[in-house]
């Protein structure tokens, strides 16, 4: 199987869906040249009628996408940075998320809100957040957070084909990561977690960049601690069954995510584990996440964002 980059996998997935369905198009800031490269080259293939550059107006991008989705199109709205999605909160959280319910399921809203999340690039508090918790908390939205090229391509294709609004957050720090991706058509279903590495001593439920931290540590610690790594892949729907099955096997769990520790996905996943598998736990759940503090610019960000050393310490403490 060939290896391609995380960035290339998303680009390829969008291109394939645009070829498959003429109702699919991309709208957003700088999508013809593409700041992160996600949509690079697509305007040459599909033209400016389907790769639509907009002014810097996130509300207009989201609003245009919602309106088009209601008429049968399948827009991919690209916000560049996930932090910028807050500007379009009314359209995303109150319109797209609610209208299918309001109309009794008759009105479809097949659209994707796509943006780059994450830190470790030292670019400050308004360009480094991982705001999964906001979208995970909002009924009516699905949320995909891929960690590998295979999952990135499969999830973007699944998101575009879904008849509900899907938030697709890719990590800017993983754009160059390479991995095996089939050439044939496939999707990764939303709501299906994957055990990335089998283990028996400690479960690490890891999201996004944390998957790579966890896999690296699992390899480093393999002679002393057997670490199982579970990647939810999508946070809504959340495959809590796969997570709980792993916890019942190991009896110990760390939940690692880059959103804030307070009210973030790590807190929610930990609580669901407590509700469903409390009697199977041999030790208290630990969570590794960003501090409840704005992300500083430059080297100071390491004091706020979760680090591999933090995750390693949590694994070792649980394993005794």
Place of tokens 């908390």: 137
Cα distance between residue 196 and residue 180, in whole Å: 14
> What are the residue boundaries of the structural domains of the chain, listed by start?
3-180, 194-319
Query: Token digits for 53?
Result: 């550059």
Place of tokens 């729907």: 237
CA distances from 95 to 102, 109, 165, 250 (A): 10, 10, 10, 42
CB within 8 A of 21, min separation 6: which ones? 74, 160
The topology (CATH level 3) of 3-180 is Rossmann fold (3.40.50)
104 alpha carbon, distance to own chain's centre: 28
CB within 8 A of 2, min separation 6: which ones? 180, 181, 183
**Confidence category of residue 167, pLDDT binned at 50, 70, 90:** very high
Query: What average pLDDT score do residues 254-261 get?
Result: 98
CATH class held by domain 194-319: alpha beta
Contact 203, 247 (CB under 8 A): yes
The bridge status of strand 166-171 relative to strand 234-236 is unpaired
The catalytic position among 127, 137, 171, 212 is 127
| Whether the domain at 3-180 and the domain at 194-319 fall into the same CATH topology | yes
Cα distance between residue 90 and residue 162, in whole Å: 21
The pLDDT tens digits of the residues spanning 51-72 come to 999 999 999 999 999 999 999 9
The pLDDT tens digits of the residues spanning 97-154 come to 999 999 898 889 999 999 999 999 999 999 999 999 999 999 999 999 999 999 999 9
Question: Percentage of residues in the chain with pLDDT exceeding 70?
Answer: 100
Please give the biggest Cα pair distance in the chain. Answer: 59
127 in catalytic set: yes
């Amino acid at each position: 199987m060939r290896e391609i980059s995380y960035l290339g996998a998303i680009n390829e997935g969008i291109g394939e869906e645009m070829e498959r369905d003429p109702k699919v198009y991309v709208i957003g800031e700088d999508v013809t040249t593409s700041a992160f490269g996600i949509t690079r080259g697509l305007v040459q293939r599909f033209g400016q009628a389907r790769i639509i550059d907009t002014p810097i107006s996130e509300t207009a991008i989201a609003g245009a996408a919602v309106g088009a989705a209601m008429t049968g199109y399948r827009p991919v709205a690209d916000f560049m940075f996930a932090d910028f999605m807050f500007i379009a909160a009314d359209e995303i959280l109150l319109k797209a998320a609610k209208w299918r319910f309001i109309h009794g399921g008759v009105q479809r809203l097949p659209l994707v809100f796509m943006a780059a999340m994450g830190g470790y690039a030292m670019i400050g508090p308004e360009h480094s957040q991982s705001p999964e918790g906001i979208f995970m908390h909002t009924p009516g939205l699905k949320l995909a957070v891929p960690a590998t090229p295979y999952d990135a391509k499969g999830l973007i294709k699944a998101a575009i084909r879904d008849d509900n609004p899907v938030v697709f957050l890719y990590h800017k720090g993983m754009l160059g990561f390479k991995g095996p991706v089939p050439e044939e058509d496939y999707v990764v279903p939303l709501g299906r977690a994957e055990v990335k590495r089998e283990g028996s001593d400690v479960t690490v439920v890891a999201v996004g960049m944390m998957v790579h931290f966890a896999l690296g540590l699992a390899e480093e610690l393999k002679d002393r601690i057997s670490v199982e790594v579970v990647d939810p892949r999508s946070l809504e729907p959340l495959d809590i069954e796969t997570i709980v099955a792993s916890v019942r096997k190991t009896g110990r769990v760390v939940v690692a995510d880059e959103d804030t520790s307070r009210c973030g996905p790590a807190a929610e996943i930990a609580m669901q584990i407590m509700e469903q598998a409390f009697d199977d736990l041999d030790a208290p759940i630990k969570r590794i996440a960003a501090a409840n503090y704005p992300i500083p610019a430059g080297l100071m960000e390491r004091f706020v964002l979760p680090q591999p050393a933090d995750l390693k310490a949590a694994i070792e403490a649980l394993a005794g």
